[in-house]
Amino acid sequence: MTKTLRLFFPVALAVLAVAHSAFAQYGGQGLGSALSSDPLSHQSQVRAGVDDIASRASQETPFKIIKDVKLGLKDADPDVRVSELTKLRDLQDPEVNQILIQSMADEDLRVKLKAIDILGARQANAAVAAMSSMLFLRSTEQIVKLHLVSELGRIGDAQGTLIVSKTLPRPCRTNLISQ
């Protein structure tokens, strides 16, 4: 029996050593392993989508973001233009408001609405005059007028509030004044 164990022990060690080196070739059970039970462990820990955009935006300078947005606004696809405008939402640069005001004149409705909504969210007083004049144009679509009124109220500028009150129908104005 001891003779069998003496022969078996070195053979067993050799088999385990070969198996261990083969297991190491595949990466074992650790992070990024092909044998891991987690199907997404081979991917990085950064989640695609909003987290990816936010982390990239925190690493880029405002100058680079504005430059990329200006380039992206020349794209023919309106979805690309809308996504480029979304990048400007949290930038604190005076040039951003001018880009958004220019984007209100875009031919696509989605781009116009996104620019108007971002200007309202930024509470950009510089946009009140352009938004007010757009409100009285006959060529302005009704949905755009609705967003303009909403965002002028959100900005809260006195000039914008006066214009919004003038656009309301007469019965609504008298109810507002009497309250």
pLDDT beyond 80 at 48? no
DSSP collapsed to 3 states, the chain: CHHHHHHHHHHHHHHHHHHHHHHHHCCCCCCCCCCCCCCCCCCCCCCCCHHHHHHHHHHCCHHHHHHHHHHHCCCCCHHHHHHHHHCCCCCCCHHHHHHHHHHCCCCCHHHHHHHHHHHHHHCCHHHHHHHHHHHCCCCCCHHHHHHHHHHHHHHCCHHHHHHHHHHCCHHHHHHHHHC
Per-residue confidence (pLDDT) for residue 107, from 0 to 100: 93
Which CA distances in Å does 77 have to 36, 64, 105?
41, 21, 16
Per-residue confidence (pLDDT) for residue 166, from 0 to 100: 73
- Which residues, in sequence order, are CB contacts of 165 under 8 Å at separation 6+? 173, 176
pLDDT beyond 60 at 33? no
How far, in Å, CA of 144 to CA of 110, rounded? 10
- Which residues, in sequence order, are CB contacts of 33 under 8 Å at separation 6+? 26, 27, 41, 42
Lowest mean pLDDT among 45-54, 57-66, 72-81, 150-159: 45-54
Lowest mean pLDDT among 12-16, 57-61, 143-147, 174-178: 174-178
Residue 15 near residue 22 (C-beta atoms within 8 A): no
Per-residue confidence (pLDDT) for residue 51, from 0 to 100: 64
Rounded to an integer, the average pLDDT of 137-155 is 91
Rounded to an integer, the average pLDDT of 132-147 is 91
First to last CA, the chain: 104
Task: Give percent above pLDDT 90 in the chain.
Answer: 39
pTM of structure = 0.61
Per-residue confidence (pLDDT) for residue 136, from 0 to 100: 85
Mean of all residue pLDDT scores within the chain: 78
**pLDDT per residue as tens digits for the range 95-126:** 999 999 999 999 999 999 999 999 999 999 99
- Which residues, in sequence order, are CB contacts of 70 under 8 Å at separation 6+? 99
Rounded to an integer, the average pLDDT of 154-164 is 78
